[in-house]
Structure formats: C-alpha cells, structure tokens
C-alpha cells in the first residue's frame, strides 16, 4: 500500500520535473540574474556597486522613455490592426469555410512562420523599396510619375509587424469561435438582431477570451520584436529592443541593458494588466484557456 | 550501494567520452563572416587531420559580448579589430597573452605588426597580432556623384535623399575629422572628446534630412547602391570592391580627410583550450598561397609583406582604382578605444537616431 | 384560403434542394392560429430543413411560406416574427437571464422601462420570477428550457418554432416538460410548431401532427387519427407499435377482405378509407399490441374474446412494465407477436404456456406493399 503510494508520488515528481527545470533554469534564474545585473552600477573598470542608477538613467533621459512609449503605442496599434484584420479571417475559417478547406486555410496562415523573421523582412523590403515591386508596378500603371519610397517609415514597420504577428491573433480566435454553437448566432438573428447587433452583442462577447488572449500574445511579440522594426524602420524610427541591444552590444553596458530589459517586461505587463482590467477578463479564462 | 556504483559508472562514461573527444582536437574560431572560407578550412583539415575547425561568424561588438558572457571561454581563437583589445582586456579580462615564438611573425608587414603590438601590449605582454587590414571610407557612383570626396559630402544638399551611412562609431569619427578635429588625439581627454561628439551629433542630426536610410549591413547597402536608390555612402572598402565587380562606376573613395584603417587581429580568448591548433591556423592562413584565397573571400588585404600583391586580380584592380600612394600615406588607423568611450559614443548614436531631423 | 388570416403559418409546395439531394419535396400545410402543431419524422427526413426555411435561415428552392397571410420569402430572419427555440436552446452564456430575455426587445428598440416591465412579466408567466439576475450556468435544465421559451415569447411572435428542445433533458424532466410546454402554449395562446422524432412528445402535446418521411408529408391529422387511421404503411409503423405481417389478398370488397400471410395463415381485415384492395396484390397488415388479446389455451374466456382473427402460440417471455406490460408469443410458424396484457400479480401468464391470440378484423390495418421493406 505504502509502496504503491510512493511510486505514485515518484511518478508525479518525474512528470513535474521537466516543467520545474524549465521554469527554474530557463525562466526564473535568468530573470533573477537580470534583476541583479540591472541593480549594479559601474564605478570603474571591474568595480561595481549596487544602486538604482540604471533605472534613474532611464527616467532622466527622454530618449529612452520616449522610445518605450513609442514602442508601446505602435505595438498597441499593431495589435488593433491584427485584431481588425484577423477577426474576419478567423471568423471565415471557423464559421464559414467548409471542414475540408479549413485545414488548408489554416496552413496558408502558417506559411509566413516557415521562414525566418529576417527573410520575411527582406520580402517586405523587396516589395516596398523605391526600386521595388510596388513602386515599379505603380510606375508601370502610370499612377505615379517617379519612383516612390514606401520603405523606411513607420507605416512599413507597422505593416511588417502586423503581417508577422497576425497568425498569433488568428489561432486563438479560431479556436474560441470554433467552440461557439452556430445556433447562438442564428438565435441572435432570430430574436431580431441585425448583423451588427449579433456581432457586437453575441459574437464578440463570446469570442472575448480569444480576443484578449490573441491581443496579449500579439502585443508581447510586437513589443519584443527586433529585426522587423530595425530593418523596415526609417532613420527616425527606433524600437525599445534596439535600445536594449545597443546597451548590451554597442555600449558594453550590460547593467543598463538589463535594467531596460526589466523595464520592458514591467511596461508590457502593466499594459496587459490594464487591458485585462478594462475588458473585465482574467488571465485564467483567456490565455490559459486557449 | 547500488546507487554509488551507478554514479561511478556514469562518471567513468563521462570521462571516457571526454577522453575520446580530446583525441580529435577542435579549433573553435570566432571571426568575421567570410574570414573562414570553406576552401581554406578543408585545406587546413587535410593538413592537420586531427583538428576539426568550427566557425562562429560575428562582429567586433558581439565577439566581445560573447567572450564577456563566458569570461573568455567557448572559443579558441578570436579576431577582433586592433582597437578592441586593450580596453576590453582591461575591463573584462577576456584574452590571454600570445606566445610570439609560436607565430611566424617574420612574414608580417613590420609596420602593421609593430602598430598592433604597440596597441595591444599590457604589462609587457602582447595580446594580438595582425591578420588583415582594410579601410572604411566612402563609396560613390562616379557618374552620379563625381564630387563626393569628403565625409561631409554625405550631407551635401546636392545629394539630398541619395546618400547613406551606418549609424556606428565610424561615421562619428569621420565626421569629426571632416570638421577639422582629431578625435583620436582627444581620447586622452574624455571631456574634450565629449565636446567633439556633441558637435558631431549636431552636424549628423542636421544631416538626417539628406540621408535616405541608415544601412545595417553589407546586403542592404549593396542593394541600395546597385539599384541607384543612393549615389554615395559611407562604406567598408570590401563592400565597395564587390560592387565594383558588378558596376565599374561604383568605386571606393578614400575621403580627403583620410580613410579610417582597421586591422583585424588574432587574439586568444582567456579560456581557450586549443592554443596549439590556434597557432597552427594563424601560421597557416598567413602563407602566401592561402593569403590569396583568404583575400578573395574577404576583400581585405593581408597584413603580410607584399599583401597587396597577393590580392586576387579583380580585387587588385578595385584597390588600384581606389587608392593612390598618397591615399595610403593618409590612412588614419583606428586608435585604441579607452574604457568608457564606447558608452559615450553609444549615447551619441542614440541621440542622433532619436532626433527627428527630417 | 391564401388570404385567410386565421392561419398563422402556411406553406405552399415548399421544396429545398441541396445540390442533387432533395431535402424537402413540395410540402404544403397550414396551421390555424393558436394551435400546437408538430412535425414528426425520423432523423434526416427534412424536418429541420423545413423549420430553418420557416425561420429564414435557408431559402426554399420552390414554393411559398406565408406568415399571417403574408409571404416572407426574401424577408431576412431578423425581420420575421417567427421565433425559435433551438435544440440546445442557444441561450447566451455571456448574458444573465434578464439580458437574455431583454436582448430581442433591445433589438426592437424598446425603451428600458418597458423592457423591465416586459421581462418581469414574462418571468412571472413562466413561474420563474426570481431568476432575472442569475447567470445561465446557474439554471437547471428545466429552467433553461423555460427561459429559452420566455426569451421568444416576450417578443409576441406569430409563430414559435421549437426544434426538439427536450432532447437534452433526462426522462423524468422530459415527461414533466411535455405537460408544461402544452400549458405554456395554452397560456400564451400562440401557434407552436414543434419538431421532433419522438412520437410520444408529438402525440401528447399536439393538436395536429404532420408525419414527415424522406422530404414529404405522409399524413397530417390529429394524434388520434394518425394512430387509429394511418393513411400509409409508414405512418402505421412509425406512430405507435405494431405487429406486422406480409401477405397476398385472397378476397376483398369495399368493407374489407381476407389475406393469406407469408406463413400461410389466413387473416381478415377491414378496409381503410373504403378502399378496395386488389385481389392477388401484396399487402402489409399492421395490428397494434393493445388490440390483441392473449388467452390461455383451454381457458373459458376464449368465448369472450370476440374477433375474426385467431392464432395459437406459446408464451415466449413477459415484458413487465407496470400498466404497459407485454407478452411475447411465439406462434406455430415461428414469428414473435407482441400483445398487451394486464398483469395483476395473481394467476398471470407464464413463459411456456399455450395461448391463443385473438383480434378483430377492424383492428387489422391493411396497406398495399410499396415494394420496399
């Protein structure tokens, strides 16, 4: 009897072990390391002291917090665009497409993930540059008189980012919408609702967990992306991850970089917390569910 | 009891595995893209069958960051530029001194060897020897920007929206020279250097409106230049030589203030484990027949006697089209970066990037 | 009859094709105001398609649908005053009871005070006055059922469609809800159209029942008519239980005739609907178990058992089910016949006893064999 219990407990530990190792070694320890590093101030070569200097540096330099706010607001915009574009796509896949075409459509959405961030960004560069496909096409049609540069501006960054992250919006949306009984939508019409009413009062509230989950993932991915904003952005565009990279690599200022990393984490967590509060959702019934 | 024997078995197995891998030595190179062409690696491995070569491609900043993260472990030979040895060693202790008796320094161009030794000697120990050198300067399409001669010309309104630069320290230094300053001389007085940087930042922010985009790597620079979207840019010479192959109008232009010269070196990471193999690699790639292979891949000139003559023909033509003897004399070698300068420069670059200058 | 407003719902030759499949074939019927009408049929017979056309979720391929005398073809579902209770109710889980009921009113632009009054009114009428603030998942199955009906009834529909709404309930509750639905229909005095494959639901609640099979209506009538005077073999076999024999007509006139079954037994029948069966034609005979009397062989009461048809057999087994108990009798030719018996607990039949089966020719329903089944 006792032995049986011990074996059960042992197998439970064994099952739990990979998860615990992953959480401790790859999530908790590095973050503790980052926090400790971010609290060090360089006094002289190889001499460090504990202080909040790196965080104060962030507050005192408008470039840094402007970049963070800019990154945050553009990420919100990308999230909103991904939702606006992704919702109809997800609705089509989950509710309108036949069961056979559904798999194919899902696969189509996955295709961008098969190539690396870098290749995807180069794809956009080929399309958008002054001598690129779109500019040449418009020239050919005569809509523009001379080549136009579509690249190296914030619009290009937003387009590229939306394209990259939209899948992460579509997947949770499809899974929640898929779980919605079609009769619910029909009941919405049957009781007198117009298409807009049904969308606003029935479909969107029902899909809310999926919407929130998608928005959280999309926002985190966007705010944390590096290559796309760097490669597509213009001479004035800056992204907070670029600042972190600069601190670590260009300026050899690991302490500052660590502080920036923690700040990005706090900031995105704060935005998500606000979003959850405003939408009346919890993490448990959104991200954890889908 | 049982547990103990298992543990012992495991330990024995681990040690055996360790011993097994020690038999075929591995040389882990940390170097620049194209600095370890497959052809050379195959040749080297054929000559030394018990050495496997593993290559990690990187750049100056990342090399130092990688070595800093591990305290100098994980690689057996690194190739940072000559100005990235001294301060990095002082601050992070990531290299170990070279045993010059194991390197055939006689083949090296004496001027370059002495220069590097001078720059990388700490407490009597030498930390690096030269491998290849090259310059940073300007690149122009002769037909469209015949008068692009100075760093300052990138900001010439005549080329509005048609020039590019990389937002890194090279352009800060070049612009400082073009304003009549000597930034390298100011390294000894960081307050003065900060003053120069502030002036440079002002100038480059003003210049932003003239720039089409900051390039990030050789590929996007090449694409902009070849497509004619830009007519001139700050560049590495090797990139310009490659474009010269494809379009004879695109030439490297040593700025009249003097092209900035860098020397990539050989340095041993502090916890390197295959020093002998590393020395063998150094001597191997400095042999004349291998120098040509290397230069064909990198576009840079080997720091050996007659290195320029050992260039492959097409590169030789590009260099000759670019440099006169005067230009060579006018080269400005990057001076050792003292501690703290990277941070100052980094901050200046951030300021320029964040400014809305058009 | 087309303009007669006393019909809440009329269907004229309604048909629906899905590609080459004809799901509904030229169905016509009309439902008088305030009645309870059921459409009964096996699954896949097209009854759900028919209901979806009435609600407006499908467009008919042909024919016309009229509500209160007006054609609703081309009217979108949200503009039709036909409300529907869905199979799984489709209550909105993200709204509470009050909001579920208020939803339709809000869609119609009713003012808040009026909504409040109406919602509480309808909750009173379904005898659930205190559940307004509850969440849907806090309700019992029966309560959900009533809320789903209230949600529709608060909008005063011309016709209420119910799509097998009792299917998900357990047996006891289902029995209770049958009665409750009937009472609610009386109370609201609205036309109910009820779709089901469960004949007892249809028979218990309905004023009229349509039997649907393979896209067509086989018969429309009161439950009694369907049960006692089925017009087709399908209705006879689908509604209620029957014993069935196949055979050939030996003699026939307008009142009835005689058949020889495949087992070689003679059997007499009365003609349904004054129709004369062709002599020599193949027919099916249906006899309901409750009309067959089982008497002990050699018992004295054989004389009391009036009937032209008689069979001998041995009790195979007893199926005890209280008032609905049955006996299975194996006849001389080997087939099993079901017959209702009253089991009193004393001196009942036992397996192995010899018995006689007796029934009247009036209870033998005879239909020409359609060549199938």
CB distance A206–C107 less than 8 Å? Answer: no
Classify residue C194: in a domain, yes or no.
Answer: yes
pLDDT the model gives residue A217: 93
Give the Cα separation of B270 and B75 in Å (integer). Answer: 9
- With 0-12 / 13-18 / 19 or more C-beta atoms within 10 angstroms meaning exposed / middle / buried, residue B330 is middle
Classify residue C2: in a domain, yes or no.
Answer: no
Give the Cα separation of C196 and C53 in Å (integer). Answer: 16
Radius of gyration of chain C (CA): 25
- Select the more confidently predicted residue: B336 or B132: B132
Residues C87 and C219 in one domain: yes
Residue B202 has pLDDT above 70, yes or no: yes
The encoded tokens of residue B103 equal: 């390197």
DSSP letters spanning C65-119: EEETTEE-TT--GGGSSEEEEBTTB---TTSBHHHHHHHHHHHTT--HHHHHHHH
Classify residue C149: in a domain, yes or no.
Answer: yes
Which residue ranges make up each domain of chain B?
2-131+263-312, 134-261+332-354
pLDDT the model gives residue A2: 59
Q: Which of residues 68-107 of C touch A (CB under 8 A)?
A: 76-79, 82-84, 86-88, 90, 92-95, 103-104, 107
B53: left (phi over 0), alpha (psi -120 to 50) or beta: beta
Query: Given C57, C78, C88, which is nearest A192 (Cβ)?
Result: C78
Residue A224 has pLDDT above 90, yes or no: yes
Task: Count CB pairs under 8 A between chains A and B.
Answer: 76
C298: left (phi over 0), alpha (psi -120 to 50) or beta: left
DSSP letters spanning C276-290: PPPTT-EEEEEE-GG
Residues C250 and C358 in one domain: yes
> Residues A176-195: what's their mean pLDDT?
92
Residues C44 and C126 in one domain: yes
Nearest CA in chain A to C102: A191
Can you give the length of chain C in residues? 373
Chain C residues with CB under 8 Å of A191 CB are 78, 83, 103-104, 107, 151-152, 155
pLDDT the model gives residue C282: 87
Residue B267's closest CA among B130, B93, B133?
B130
Each residue of A134-143: pLDDT tens digit? 999 999 998 8
What is the number of other CB atoms lying within 10 angstroms of the CB of residue A133?
Answer: 12
Residues C265 and C323 in one domain: yes
pLDDT the model gives residue A114: 83
A122-126, B250-254, C80-84, C149-153: least confidently modelled range: A122-126
Residues C219 and C269 in one domain: no
Segment holding B228, helix H or strand E: none
Nearest CA in chain C to A197: C107
Chain B residues with CB under 8 Å of A151 CB are 213
Chain C residues with CB under 8 Å of A208 CB are 94
pLDDT the model gives residue B6: 47
pLDDT the model gives residue B221: 92
The encoded tokens of residue B259 equal: 């092209």
Residues C27 and C156 in one domain: yes
State the total domains in chain C: 2
Most C CBs within 10 A among A183, A190, A279, hence the mutation to make, goes to: A190
The encoded tokens of residue A154 equal: 């914030």
What is the number of other CB atoms lying within 10 angstroms of the CB of residue C88?
Answer: 15
CATH number for the segment(s) B2-131+263-312: 3.40.190.10
Of C233, C258, C281, the last residue of a domain is C233
The encoded tokens of residue C290 equal: 């409750």
Closest-CA distance, A255 to chain B, in angstroms, reads 12
Q: Which residues of A touch B (CB under 8 A)?
A: 45-46, 63, 66-67, 125, 129-131, 149, 151-152, 230-231, 234-236, 238, 243, 246-254
Residue C314: partners with Cβ closer than 8 Å, 6 or more residues away: C329, C330, C352, C353, C354, C355
Task: Count CB pairs under 8 A between chains A and C.
Answer: 62
- Under a CB-based contact definition with an 8 Å cutoff, are residues A186 and A227 in contact? no
Chains B and C: 3 or more CB pairs within 8 Å of each other = no
Q: pTM for the complete prediction?
A: 0.82
Calculate the average pLDDT of chain B: 89
CB distance C90–A197 less than 8 Å? Answer: no
Residue A200 has pLDDT above 90, yes or no: yes
- Under a CB-based contact definition with an 8 Å cutoff, are residues B304 and B137 in contact? no
Give the Cα separation of A244 and A251 in Å (integer). Answer: 10
Residue A62: partners with Cβ closer than 8 Å, 6 or more residues away: none
pLDDT the model gives residue C158: 92
Classify residue C32: in a domain, yes or no.
Answer: yes
> Residues B45-59: what's their mean pLDDT?
93
Chain A residues with CB under 8 Å of C78 CB are 189-194
Output b/e per residue, C64-84; b: 16+ Cβ within 10 A: ebbbbeeebeeeebbebebbb
The encoded tokens of residue C159 equal: 């016709």
CB distance C88–A192 less than 8 Å? Answer: no
Segment holding B268, helix H or strand E: strand B268-269
Percent of chain B with pLDDT over 90: 69
Closest-CA distance, C107 to chain A, in angstroms, reads 5
What's the CATH number where C116 sits? Answer: 3.40.50.300
CB distance C83–A208 less than 8 Å? Answer: no
| Domains B2-131+263-312 and B134-261+332-354 fall in the same CATH topology | yes
CB distance A251–B216 less than 8 Å? Answer: no
Report the greatest alpha carbon distance in chain B.
85
pLDDT the model gives residue B18: 44
Chain B residues with CB under 8 Å of A43 CB are none
Q: Which domain holds residue C340?
A: 241-373
pLDDT the model gives residue B358: 47
Helices assigned H by DSSP within B164-308: 169-178, 183-186, 190-207, 218-226, 237-246, 275-285, 288-298
Classify residue C1: in a domain, yes or no.
Answer: no
Residues C313 and C207 in one domain: no
Chain B residues with CB under 8 Å of A46 CB are 91-93
- Under a CB-based contact definition with an 8 Å cutoff, are residues A103 and A247 in contact? no
Which residues partner with C13 through β-bridges?
A: none
Which residues partner with C7 through β-bridges?
A: C32
Residues C27 and C122 in one domain: yes
Give the Cα separation of B308 and B295 in Å (integer). Answer: 10
pLDDT the model gives residue B7: 46
Residues C33 and C173 in one domain: yes
Tens of each residue's pLDDT in chain C, 373 residues: 444 557 889 999 999 999 888 999 999 999 988 899 999 999 889 999 999 999 999 999 999 999 998 999 989 999 999 999 998 999 999 999 999 999 999 999 999 999 999 999 999 988 899 999 999 999 998 899 999 999 999 999 999 999 988 887 888 888 888 888 888 898 888 999 999 998 888 998 999 999 999 999 999 999 999 998 888 889 988 888 889 888 888 888 777 788 888 887 888 887 665 567 778 888 888 899 988 888 888 765 555 556 678 888 899 998 888 888 899 999 888 888 999 888 887 888 888 888 888 888 888 888 887 754 4
Each residue of B256-269: pLDDT tens digit? 999 999 999 999 99
- Select the more confidently predicted residue: B181 or C301: B181
Reported ipTM exceeds the 0.90 cut: no
Query: Given B61, B214, B350, which is nearest A63 (Cβ)?
Result: B350
Q: Confirm or reject contact between A204 and chain C (CB < 8 A).
A: no
DSSP 3-state of C225: helix
Closest-CA distance, B50 to chain A, in angstroms, reads 35
What's the CATH number where C251 sits? Answer: 2.40.50.140
- Under a CB-based contact definition with an 8 Å cutoff, are residues C239 and C230 in contact? yes
Residues C51 and C162 in one domain: yes
Of C176, C200, C233, the last residue of a domain is C233
Q: Confirm or reject contact between A49 and chain C (CB < 8 A).
A: no
pLDDT the model gives residue B220: 86
Of C233, C252, C279, the last residue of a domain is C233
Q: Which residue has the tokens 């086989």?
A: C218
Looking at the domain B134-261+332-354, which fold is it? D-Maltodextrin-Binding Protein; domain 2 (3.40.190)
Instruction: Give the 3-state secondary structure of C115-143.
Output: HHHHHHHHHHHCCCCCCCCCEHHHCCHHH
- With 0-12 / 13-18 / 19 or more C-beta atoms within 10 angstroms meaning exposed / middle / buried, residue C303 is exposed
Most B CBs within 10 A among A67, A250, A254, hence the mutation to make, goes to: A250
Residues C39 and C170 in one domain: yes
Residue C40's closest CA among C182, C200, C190?
C200
């Amino acid at each position: 009897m006792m032995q049986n219990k011990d074996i059960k407990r042992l197998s439970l530990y064994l099952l739990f072990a990979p998860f615990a190792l992953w959480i401790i070694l790859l999530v908790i320890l590095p973050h503790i390391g980052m926090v400790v590093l971010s609290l060090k101030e360089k006094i002289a070569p190889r001499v460090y002291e504990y202080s909040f200097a790196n965080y104060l540096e962030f507050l005192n330099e408008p470039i840094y917090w402007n970049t963070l706010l800019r990154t945050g607001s553009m990420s919100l915009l990308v999230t909103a665009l991904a939702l606006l574009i992704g919702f109809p796509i997800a609705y089509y896949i989950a509710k309108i497409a036949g069961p056979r075409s559904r798999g194919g459509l899902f696969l189509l959405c996955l295709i961008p993930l098969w190539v690396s961030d870098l290749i995807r960004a180069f794809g956009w560069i080929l399309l958008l540059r002054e001598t690129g496909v779109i500019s040449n096409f418009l020239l050919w049609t005569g809509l523009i008189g001379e080549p136009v540069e579509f690249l190296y501006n914030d619009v290009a960054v937003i387009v590229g980012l939306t394209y990259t992250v939209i899948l992460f919006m579509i997947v949770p949306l499809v899974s929640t919408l898929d779980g919605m009984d079609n009769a619910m939508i029909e009941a919405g019409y049957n009781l007198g609702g117009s298409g807009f009413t049904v969308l606003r009062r029935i479909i969107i509230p029902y899909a809310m967990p999926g919407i929130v989950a998608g928005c959280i993932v999309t926002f985190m991915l966007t705010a944390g992306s590096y290559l796309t904003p760097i490669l597509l952005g213009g001479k004035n565009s800056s992204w907070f991850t670029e600042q972190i990279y600069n601190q670590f690599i260009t300026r050899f200022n690991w302490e500052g970089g660590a502080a920036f990393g923690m700040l990005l984490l706090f900031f995105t967590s704060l935005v998500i917390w606000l979003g959850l509060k405003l939408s009346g959702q919890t993490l448990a019934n959104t991200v954890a569910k889908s | 009891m049982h547990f103990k024997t298992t543990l012992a078995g495991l330990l024995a197995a681990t040690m055996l595995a360790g011993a097994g891998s020690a038999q075929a030595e591995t040389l882990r190179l940390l170097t620049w893209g194209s600095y370890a062409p497959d052809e050379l690696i195959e040749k080297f491995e054929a000559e030394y069958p018990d050495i496997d070569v593993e290559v990690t491609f990187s750049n100056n900043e990342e090399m130092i960051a990688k070595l800093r993260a591990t305290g100098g472990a994980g690689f057996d030979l690194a190739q940072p530029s000559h100005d990235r040895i001294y301060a990095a060693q002082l601050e992070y202790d990531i290299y170990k001194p070279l045993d010059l008796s194991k390197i055939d320094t006689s083949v090296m161009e004496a001027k370059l060897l002495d220069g590097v030794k001078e720059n990388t000697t700490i407490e009597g120990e030498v930390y690096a020897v030269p491998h290849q050198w090259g310059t940073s300067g300007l690149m122009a399409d002769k037909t469209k920007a015949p008068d692009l001669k100075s760093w300052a010309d990138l900001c010439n309104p005549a080329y509005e929206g048609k020039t590019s630069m990389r937002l890194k320290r090279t352009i800060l230094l070049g612009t400082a020279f073009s304003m009549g300053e000597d930034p390298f001389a100011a390294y000894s007085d960081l307050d003065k250097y900060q003053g120069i940087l502030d002036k440079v930042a002002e100038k480059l922010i003003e210049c932003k409106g003239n720039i089409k985009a900051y390039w990030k790597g050789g590929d996007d620079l090449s694409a902009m230049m070849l497509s004619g979207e830009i007519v001139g840019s700050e560049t590495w010479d090797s990139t310009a030589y490659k474009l010269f192959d494809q379009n004879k109008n695109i030439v490297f232009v040593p700025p009249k203030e003097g092209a900035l010269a860098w020397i990539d070196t050989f340095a041993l990471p502090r916890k390197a484990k295959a020093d002998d193999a590393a020395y063998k690699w150094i001597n191997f790639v400095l042999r004349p027949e291998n120098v040509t292979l290397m230069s064909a891949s990198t576009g840079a000139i080997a720091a050996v006697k007659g290195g320029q003559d050992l260039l492959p023909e097409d590169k030789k033509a590009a260099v000759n089209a670019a440099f006169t003897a005067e230009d060579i004399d006018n080269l400005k070698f990057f001076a050792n970066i003292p501690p703290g300068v990277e941070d100052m420069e980094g901050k200046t670059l951030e300021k320029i990037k964040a400014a809305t200058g058009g | 009859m087309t303009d007669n407003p006393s019909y809440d719902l009329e269907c004229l030759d309604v048909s629906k094709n899905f590609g080459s499949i004809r799901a509904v074939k030229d169905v016509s019927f009309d439902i008088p105001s305030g009645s309870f009408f059921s459409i009964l049929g096996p699954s896949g017979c097209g009854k759900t398609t028919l209901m979806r056309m009435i609600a407006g979720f499908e467009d008919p391929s042909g024919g016309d649908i009229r509500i209160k005398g007006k054609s609703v073809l081309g009217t979108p579902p949200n503009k039709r005053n036909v409300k529907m209770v869905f199979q799984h109710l489709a209550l909105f889980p993200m709204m509470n009871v009050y909001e579920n009921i208020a939803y339709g009113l809000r869609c119609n632009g009713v003012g808040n005070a009026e909504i409040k009054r109406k919602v509480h009114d309808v909750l009173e009428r379904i005898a659930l006055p205190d559940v307004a603030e509850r969440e849907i998942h806090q309700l019992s199955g029966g309560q959900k059922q009533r809320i789903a009906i209230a949600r529709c009834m608060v909008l005063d529909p011309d016709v209420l469609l119910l799509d097998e709404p009792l299917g998900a309930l357990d047996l006891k509750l289902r029995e209770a809800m049958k009665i409750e639905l009937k009472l609610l229909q009386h109370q609201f005095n609205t036309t109910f159209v009820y779709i089901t494959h469960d004949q007892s639901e249809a028979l218990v609640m309905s004023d009229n029942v349509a039997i649907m099979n393979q896209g067509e209506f086989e018969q429309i009538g009161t439950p009694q008519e369907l049960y006692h005077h089925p017009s087709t073999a399908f209705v006879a076999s689908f509604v209620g239980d029957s014993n069935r024999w196949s055979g050939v007509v030996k003699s026939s006139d307008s009142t009835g005739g005689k058949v020889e079954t495949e087992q070689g037994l003679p059997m007499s029948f009365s003609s349904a609907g004054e129709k004369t069966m062709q002599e020599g034609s193949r027919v099916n005979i249906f006899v309901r178990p409750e009309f067959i009397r089982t008497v002990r062989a050699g018992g004295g009461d054989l004389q009391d058992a009036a009937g032209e048809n008689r069979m001998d057999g041995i009790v195979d087994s007893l199926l005890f089910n209280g008032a609905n108990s049955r006996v299975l009798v194996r006849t001389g030719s080997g087939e099993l016949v079901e017959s209702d018996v009253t089991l009193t607990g004393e001196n009942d039949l036992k397996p192995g006893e010899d018995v006689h089966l007796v029934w009247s020719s009036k209870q033998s329903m005879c239909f020409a064999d359609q060549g199938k089944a």
